[in-house]
Amino acid sequence: MKSKLRVAVIGTTGLPARYGGFETLTHHLVDQLGAEVDFTVYCSEKYFEKGPKRPSVFNGAKLVYLPLNANGYQSIIYDMISILHAIRHADVVLALGVSGAMLFPVLKLFTNKKILVNIDGQEWKRPKWNWIAKKVLGFSEKLAVRFADVVITDNKVIQQYVHKSYNRTDAWLIEYGGDHVSKQPLTNYHLEQFPFLNESYAFNVSRIEPENNIHMILDAFSRAPQQTLVMVGLWNHGKYGMDLKAKFSNYPNIHLLDPIYDQDQLNSIRSNAKFYVHGHSAGGTNPSLVEAMCLGLPILSYGIDYNLETTNHRARYFNNAEDLLKQLSYFVQTDLSMIGVEMQKYAMQKYAWQRIASLYLAAFEGESQAVAELSFTILNQSVHTIDLKTNTTRSAAA
């Protein structure tokens, strides 16, 4: 019997996932590939209480806890210690982000471990970092691209950037999945707790940071009283969020909710929105955008190249508050149902976790992406053909 491939996942806060694209990705890789892969996932103790809420195994994956923060400045040490621990038992190290990349040259020199790195969305460009952090992250990205066996990008724009900036033509394009979300009805509990959900509303869930253009979105909606906005985020984390909450909370058409960690409750509110407004200006393929597309929500998005690529140029776009105001007028006057259907049809093919996981497995095992994509397409077509034959047979028998 063939032994399972041993894969260590570093760079996340850990499992079970709450918020976070990399955490959600890890969750679905473990779910989809558990039969073929023996996973070890590194977790930050900061995010998990001791006791039953801190399990040693999650869906078959072994969990290793470290007393460090997976985010911020500690992430570099967190990822490096994770790597040093992982090389003792793993065949493959999957690094989500580039924080630990300073160890990659050492790994390639002294071990035969296979290194895969998802470089995320040009993390060093994010405005939240000071110049020192940007220099460190930029240098880490260079090391990651130079020394990783497989470089994974989640957006075609990032893939092109890797090719142009580092002359690396073999970077894989593997997006995020979003088909784990499902449309759910609003319950009486929701309608009693949040009576504004009885109205037609736009929705957004985001990290409350300037790069996500929260101020731009709130400014536009404050001048469009005919359109209701429901926005979910951690408002009290920093001055930016607290100032915005103080300024915009008194507008009757704007409802600023605290984080909702219950996925069913979040989906109930999100999936019944008239449309999704997306303000992210950094990163690659954003998980919340992909999830909104999979729910069949029409998308009104900030018009940066990452978002155009993610939505296949099928959304409506804005670049400032005035643009957004004009688009809001269009959305008030237009039947958006077919726009949402088309968006969902594209998303359920492109951003299906089964496809995403199969590509990661191919990367773990050393296949080429072209072969992996072709194999997945042929397999799906075969399954679809069998389903059609089965349905035909049943119809004939009936």
Give the CATH number for residue 172. 3.40.50.2000
Domain containing 374 equals: 368-398
Question: Based on the domain organization, do 210 and 346 belong to the same domain?
Answer: yes
Question: Based on the domain organization, do 377 and 331 belong to the same domain?
Answer: no
Question: Based on the domain organization, do 214 and 74 belong to the same domain?
Answer: no
Confidence of residue 393 (pLDDT cuts 50, 70, 90): very low
Question: Based on the domain organization, do 344 and 244 belong to the same domain?
Answer: yes
Question: Based on the domain organization, do 256 and 292 belong to the same domain?
Answer: yes
In angstroms, the CA 44 to CA 12 distance is 8
Contacts of 298 (CB under 8 A, 6+ apart): 274, 275, 276, 315, 316, 331, 336, 339, 340, 343
Question: Based on the domain organization, do 219 and 324 belong to the same domain?
Answer: yes
Confidence of residue 147 (pLDDT cuts 50, 70, 90): very high
Question: Based on the domain organization, do 317 and 389 belong to the same domain?
Answer: no
Question: Based on the domain organization, do 152 and 18 belong to the same domain?
Answer: yes
Question: Based on the domain organization, do 192 and 173 belong to the same domain?
Answer: no
Tens-digit pLDDT profile for residues 281-332: 988 899 999 999 999 999 999 999 999 999 999 999 999 999 999 999 988 8
In a domain, 341, yes or no: yes
Residue reference for tokens 């040259």: 105
Q: Which of 128-132, 133-137, 213-217, 319-323 has the lowest mean pLDDT?
A: 128-132
Question: Based on the domain organization, do 230 and 259 belong to the same domain?
Answer: yes
DSSP state at residue 123: G
Amino acid at 20: G
Structurally, how many domains does the chain consist of? 3
In a domain, 97, yes or no: yes
Q: Would strands 61-66 and 57-58 be described as parallel, antiparallel, or unpaired?
A: antiparallel
pLDDT at 127: 65
Task: For residue 358, count other CB atoms closer than 10 A to its CB.
Answer: 20
Cα–Cα separations (whole angstroms), residue 115 to 106, 337, 345, 366, 373: 12, 44, 34, 11, 21
What is the SS3 assignment for 194-227? CHHHHCCEEEEECCCCHHHCHHHHHHHHHCCCCC
Question: Based on the domain organization, do 265 and 341 belong to the same domain?
Answer: yes
In a domain, 121, yes or no: yes
In our burial notation (b when 16+ CB lie closer than 10 A, e otherwise), range 45-81 reads bbbbeeeeeeeeebeebebbbbebbbbeebbbebbbb
pLDDT at 115: 97
Task: For residue 13, count other CB atoms closer than 10 A to its CB.
Answer: 23
